[in-house]
Amino acid sequence: MTWDTIILGAGAAGMMCATQTGGRTLVLDHAKAPGEKIRISGGGRCNFTNMYAGPENFLSGNPHFCKSALSRYTQWDFINMVAAHGIHYHEKTLGQLFCDTSAKDIVAMLRAEMAKAGADLWLETTIAAVSHDGTTFSVDVERNGNRQRLTCANLVLATGGKSIPKMGATGLAYDIARQFGLRITDTRAGLVPFTFSDQRFKDISGVAHPVRATSGGTTFDEAMLFTHRGLSGPAMLQISSFWHEGEDISINLFPDSDPFEELRTRRQAQGRRNLTTELATLLPARLVEHLSKTIDLTGNLADQSDTALRALCDGLQNWHLRPSGTEGYRTAEITLGGIDTDCLSSKTMEAKTVPGLYVIGEAADVTGWLGGFNFQWAWSSGWAAGQAI
């Protein structure tokens, strides 16, 4: 069977691309349903974009690569599509837009737009092999127990990255890219919780606190969550994308206040108060108890010299921790790295050396921060390739 365009992967990017391609378009996926990551994202409400999305919110070997697609299909274009489908949404925080009802509304919207564009969708289809004779691509698939060869002029790699293999993530896009001579940059798990082999935060698992977290020179002010295995919460997921094994992360437990001035003032007025009790009015009590196992917090406020208070506060505002690792692809929201953007046109997402081969979404070496940026990249890159085709 012959198609104008075959899109491998019916995720966010592949479905968006199929709404734009025109001609005879077929989308293939091995999953039972399209857009499974959309469905489970944002706690089932899908943080589908960010009002403030811009190139500065993305990591890539080439930070300029994402600019063209992001500026030609913006968050406002996607928001208009969402609104046109009558999907109600709200801003949760920091420009992050979520569905009011269900992430399934976004999947249904994309399916409706694909149907409008006349694109076909084959699910539960195994992609066995891909080849190219110089002008035409052949895709060997297995479906309903039958093996068949499909041919097309344009082949779009939209099978995403390696995060959450349980949900069907595979390295297929990388394998096909390699087969066609495209480079793959180093890949690792991003937007992922940190682990500590000694499980040192087990006793305060479940405690959350707003922090300023820094890693690799980048800082985020968001909530941190202590877990059985280590550290999670938006602040930790954000800096995990900037962290490399063996490095420390730095945590400021007082991002918006000056604990030294606060404790000094209290010392003057209420010197007989207990240091731990006072700290427990500024930090979660269970966290203070945990800290007291490694830091000397004994005595009253009056017992603390300026030097002692300063040392204590400096420690709490610049708490250095060295994670042993991360939870890895098992729970990571995203794969950092991927198909080298130097091999692709930033305008069309087409491979520079293989006319007709396109790479979109997470498979490419473009990774967004937490907060709706990764879906925006899927929409923008999918749209750019679809338009070019």
Rule CB under 6 A: which residues touch ligand FDA?
Answer: 9-14, 29-31, 36-37, 40-42, 46-47, 127, 158-160, 163-164, 168-170, 172, 333-334, 361-363, 372-375, 378
Under 8 Å between Cβ of 141 and 147: yes
> Nearest distance from residue 100's CB to ligand FDA, in Å?
15
> Considering only CA atoms, which of 251, 253, 236 is closest in space to residue 325?
236
In the complex, minimum distance from the CB of residue 315 to ligand FDA, in angstroms, rounded to a whole number = 34
How wide is the angle at C-alpha 14 spanned by C-alphas 8 and 16, nearest 5°?
160
Least Å distance, CB 244 to ligand FDA, is 21
CB of 94 or CB of 283, closer to ligand FDA: 94
Measured from the CB atom, the residue of 178 and 322 that comes closer to ligand FDA is: 178
Nearer to ligand FDA, 55 or 255 (CB): 55
Residue closer to ligand FDA by CB (options 251, 343) is: 343
Smaller CB distance to ligand FDA: residue 31 or 94? 31
* Least distance (Å) between residue 41 CB and ligand FDA: 3
The least distance separating ligand FDA from the CB of residue 359, rounded to whole angstroms, comes to 10
Q: Which residue is at the shortest CB distance from ligand FDA?
A: 11
Phi/psi for 216 (5° steps) reads 55, 30
- The minimum distance between CB 160 and ligand FDA, in angstroms, equals 3
Joined tokens for residue 157: 């790699």
Q: Rank residues 149 and 320 by Cβ distance to ligand FDA and give the closer one.
A: 149
Which residue, 159 or 304, has its beta carbon nearer to ligand FDA? Answer: 159
Report how far residue 73's alpha carbon sits from residue 349's, in angstroms, rounded to the nearest whole number: 13
Pairing of strands 208-215, 218-226: antiparallel
Structure tokens at 335: 């794969």
Question: Quick check: 36 and 15 in contact, CB under 8 A?
Answer: no
Q: 127 or 211, CB closer to ligand FDA?
A: 127
Q: Which residues pair with 149 in a beta bridge?
A: 140
| CB 384, min distance to ligand FDA, A | 13
Could you tell me which of 84, 371, 17, 35 has the C-alpha nearest to residue 221? 371
The minimum distance between CB 228 and ligand FDA, in angstroms, equals: 19
Q: Least distance (Å) from ligand FDA to the CB of residue 50?
A: 8
Number of Cβ within a 10 Å radius of residue 89: 20
Cβ-based nearer residue to ligand FDA, 260 or 377: 377
Q: How far is the CB of 29 from ligand FDA (least distance, A)?
A: 4
Q: Which is nearer to ligand FDA, 65 or 373 (CB)?
A: 373
**Of 278 and 333, CB closest to ligand FDA:** 333
Q: How far is the CB of 300 from ligand FDA (least distance, A)?
A: 47
